[in-house]
Each structure stands twice: as structure tokens, then as C-alpha cells.
């Protein structure tokens, strides 16, 4: 969770690749996904959602889900990303290709909006987020097509 809260994309990616349990809960019942939502890390949220075992429906000790945490924190882009993921996961009749395109479209929209917001605030942050968001989207796209 420390890597997630500090926005360490490469560390989170390495942990997932090493088989870290994505749904493990801390003493408050929080998961890595909830932590990413709370800290506003859209790129890590997207990365965690690429793990097939990631469960956005888990609740913490207060009964909050990742989505409610994102909404309470006014993390609109992350909330939209979670809604799209949950909606596409609930659509059993959708083919895997349609599901991939739907989620990729939602991720692209959310991450582009987040990037545009960053552009309007800081050129330095822009470059960092551009690289990070582009990398996350690329990883998601690669994961879905393997």
C-alpha cells in the first residue's frame, strides 16, 4: 500500500507481476485500489484494474468501496474509470474484444481528461503525468491483447 499511496507506478507494477495479492486489506479494511482512489492516482487505479483478480466491490471497515472513496474525494476521473470497469465487468454478454475496447475507450477518456487538467496547471507536472499516463494506458492495452 505504501507504493500505491506514494504513486510509485513501477513498484506497483513489479509487485503485481511478482504475484502480490491485489485484494489484501489492511487493518482498516482498505485495499490498494481504495488507497489509489483516495490519493488520486488514476494511473495506479488503471494499473490495478488490469489485474483480473482486482475486486472493486470489496468494502472497508466503514462499508466504503473504491468507488465511494473516489466519489467522496471528488476524484471524478477515477470514479468514471471505476464505473466503466464495473459496468463492463457486469456485462456478461459482451465479447472479450468488445469488453477490451470499451474499457480501453473509458480509460483513454479518463486519462486524457486527467492529463488535460494537469496541462492547465503545470508544464513540469505535465511531462511527468504524460509519461506515466501513457505508460499505464500502454500497459493496459498490452495486457488486454495478450
Residues 6+ apart with CB under 8 A from 45: 33, 36, 37, 66, 78, 81, 82
Radius of gyration for the chain, computed over Cα atoms and rounded to the nearest angstrom = 14
pTM for the complete prediction? 0.66
The residue to which cell 499505464 is assigned: 136
Q: What is the pLDDT of residues 86-135, one digit of tens each?
A: 998 887 445 555 555 555 555 555 555 555 555 554 444 444 444 444 44
In this structure, what are the phi and psi dihedrals at residue 41, rounded to the nearest 5 degrees? Answer: -95, 85
* Alpha carbons 1 and 7: distance in angstroms, whole number: 10
Q: Is the pLDDT of residue 43 over 60?
A: yes
Q: Are 7 and 39 in contact (CB under 8 A)?
A: yes
Angle at 107 between CA 102 and CA 113, to 5 degrees: 130
Intra-chain end-to-end CA distance of the chain, in Å: 27
Amino acid at each position: 500500500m505504501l507504493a500505491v499511496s506514494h504513486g510509485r507506478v513501477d513498484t506497483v507494477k513489479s509487485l503485481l507481476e511478482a504475484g502480490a495479492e491485489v485484494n489484501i486489506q489492511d487493518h482498516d479494511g482498505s485495499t490498494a485500489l481504495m488507497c489509489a482512489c483516495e490519493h488520486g492516482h488514476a494511473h495506479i487505479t488503471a494499473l490495478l484494474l488490469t489485474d483480473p483478480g482486482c475486486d472493486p466491490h470489496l468494502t472497508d471497515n466503514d462499508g466504503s468501496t473504491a468507488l465511494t472513496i473516489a466519489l467522496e474525494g471528488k476524484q471524478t476521473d477515477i470514479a468514471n474509470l471505476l464505473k466503466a470497469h464495473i459496468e463492463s465487468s457486469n456485462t456478461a454478454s459482451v465479447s472479450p474484444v468488445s469488453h477490451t475496447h470499451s474499457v480501453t475507450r473509458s480509460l483513454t477518456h479518463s486519462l486524457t481528461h486527467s492529463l488535460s487538467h494537469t496541462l492547465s496547471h503545470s508544464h513540469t507536472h505535465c511531462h511527468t503525468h504524460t509519461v506515466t499516463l501513457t505508460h499505464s494506458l500502454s500497459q493496459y492495452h498490452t495486457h488486454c491483447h495478450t
